[in-house]
Amino acid sequence: MSEFVRVAAADAIADPGKQVFEVEDQIVVVFHVDGQYSCLDDVCTHDDGPLGDGRLEGCTIACPRHGAKFDIRTGAALSMPATRPTVCHEVKVEDDAVWVRLRS
């Protein structure tokens, strides 16, 4: 199991907002919505679209390539053309910072 990695100060990500980070050789997107943080792989399971470049609406992120939607809290695929969830990583807020632990 990997360790928690500090990615940013808690107030560095706007609410609502998102930001892309490199964590242990992987690119992830951290979301901040309604005071809650969450983190997904920056990979759309349809055709590898970059979710971090997508449009955030409430708790949904839309892939910029073909529009598939994912739930930012779980990674679940909510609409076609994606059918499989993307990986959702663990997030915690501690010492005024956001920490991410990768799930493989």
Partner 1 sequence: MGVTAVTDSAKFSAAALDELIAARQEPEWLVDLRRAAFETFCEKALPSRKEEEWMRTDIRTFHLDNFEPPAELSEIPADLPEGLLTAGVDLGGRVVSYNSRTISSELSDELKQQGVVFGSFAEVLESHGEVIREHLCHAVDPHFDKFSALHAAFFTTGQVLYVPRGVVVKKPLHALSLMGAGGVDLGHTLVILEEGAEATMLNETASVDETSPGMHCGAIELFVHPRARLRYVNLQNWGRGVWHFAHQKGVVDRDAHIQWTIGALGSKLSKVNQHVGLVGEGAECEVNGVMFTEGRQHLSYHTLQHHQAPHCHSNFLYKAALQDRSRTVWRGMIKVDEGAQRTDGYQRNDNLLLTKHCRADSIPGLEIEADDVRCTHGATTGQVDEEQIFYAQCRGFTRNEAIRAIVIGFFQQVFDRIPVESVREALGKSIAVRVREYE
Q: Give the binding site for ligand FES (CB under 6 A).
A: 44, 46-49, 63, 65-68, 81-82
67 phi, psi to nearest 5 deg? 85, 5
| Contact string 15-54 vs partner 1 (x = CB under 8 A) | ----xxxxx-xxx---------------x---xx-x----
Closest distance to partner 1 from the beta carbon of 99 (Å): 12
Using CB under 8 A as the binding criterion, the count of chain residues that bind partner 1 stands at 16
DSSP E strand boundaries for the chain = 5-9, 17-23, 26-33, 36-41, 55-57, 60-62, 69-71, 88-94, 97-101
Look at the block and give the residue holding tokens 């100060």.
9
What residues line the site for partner 1 (CB under 8 A)?
5, 7-8, 19-23, 25-27, 43, 47-48, 50, 104
